[in-house]
Structure 1
Amino acid sequence: MLYIFKTTVKKKKDVKTITRIFEENEAILHFNFDLEDRDKILRVKSEKLEAPEILSLISHLGHDCEELDL
């Protein structure tokens, strides 16, 4: 499943921190950020995680995140 989120992530150093956490999580198959987009889009592909679990990961790292409808 592909999830798309609007985030408050703005800095590349924050993306690096999130990248480390996401790369350690085997349930996340692929992810990417679009910091150029005004909504600072995060896309996550996972067959095991649901949106609330991904939201929790981001919020534990100090960022707000909300799922967008596809």
Structure 2
Amino acid sequence: MEEQILIFRTSVKNVRDIKHISALFTLCPQIYKWNVDLENWEKILRIECQGITSTEILKALRAINIYAQELE
């Protein structure tokens, strides 16, 4: 399976949201590197992963009240 980089615009507001994402992604071994750019007005989430789809990530984020939209 091929490594992929997924990029999302998010509703992240603060460090507490990032801590929730961190706890979530710790449970996903397919995600091995990620970050959120809090300086960008779109709060860009960049994920390096393998074997997980953007739909699965969106669904997991929604479960912790983080809304995201994949960017092309």
Per the TM superposition, whether the score is higher than 0.5 is yes
The CA RMSD over aligned residues, in Å, is 0.8
Query: C-alpha displacement at 1:23, in angstroms?
Result: 1.6
2:53 matched residue in structure 1: 50
- State, as a whole percentage, how many aligned pairs show the same letter: 33
Partner SS, residue 29 of structure 1: strand
Amino acid at match of 1:46: C
- CA–CA distance in structure 1, aligned partners of residues 47 and 38 of structure 2: 15
Query: C-alpha displacement at 1:24, in angstroms?
Result: 2.1
1:24 matched residue in structure 2: 27
TM-score (norm 1): 0.93
1:1-70, aligned counterparts within 5 Å?
1-69=4-72
Structure 2 unaligned residues grouped into runs of 5+: none
Structure 1 unaligned residues grouped into runs of 5+: none
Amino acid at match of 2:41: R
- CA–CA distance in structure 1, aligned partners of residues 33 and 54 of structure 2: 14
- CA–CA distance in structure 1, aligned partners of residues 52 and 40 of structure 2: 24
Moved runs in structure 1, 4+ residues, more than 2 A? none
Partner SS, residue 66 of structure 2: coil
TM-score (norm 2): 0.90
